[in-house]
A = this chain, B = another copy of it.
Amino acid sequence: MDSFERQGLMRHLGARISHITPGRVHIVLPARPEVTQQNGYFHAGATSAIADSAGGYAAYTLFPEGTDVLTVEYKINLLAPAIGDHIEAVGTVLKSGRTLTVCQLEVHGVREDGSRTLVANGQQTLIRVSATLT
């Protein structure tokens, strides 16, 4: 997506969209020192940032042309230390309304051998706005 390319933060963190279908988007973030906290785990801020973006783009896949998406709020539980070769956020639309969309957010830690652990789980509310407003 064009807008993803223009997101300085996602590029700066090294995140990329790995999967898009209507109502679902995956974002992958490889491990490196720039996205960790003091113990070498992925920082909760990095985990949350890609979760928020995954939900935002998932909502956006169901929007008509000429509209844009803003996050109203989200809540995220950090379930386990976020370790691995990379983390993968999955944003899934639970309810797509005319004004508001609600998404479920999951982040998995993925090891080199492909084994996965659920490291964060969240819920997000987004609003559809005219593209000229943003």
Binding site for B on A (CB under 8 A): 2-4, 6-13, 32-39, 43-46, 48-50, 52-53, 70-80, 94-95, 99-100, 102, 104, 118, 121-123, 125, 127, 134
Contact = CB atoms under 8 A, between A and B. Distances in A.
Contact of A43 (B49, B79, B121, B122): B49
A36 to B, nearest CB: 4
Given A73-B75, A94-B79, A46 B9 contact: yes
Closest 9 CB pairs of A and B: A45-B49, A75-B75, A9-B43, A12-B34, A6-B38, A3-B38, A73-B77, A8-B33, A8-B36
Nearest to A51: B45
Contact of A102 (B36, B71, B102, B121): B121
Given A34-B9, A37-B7, A48-B45, A73 B78 contact: yes
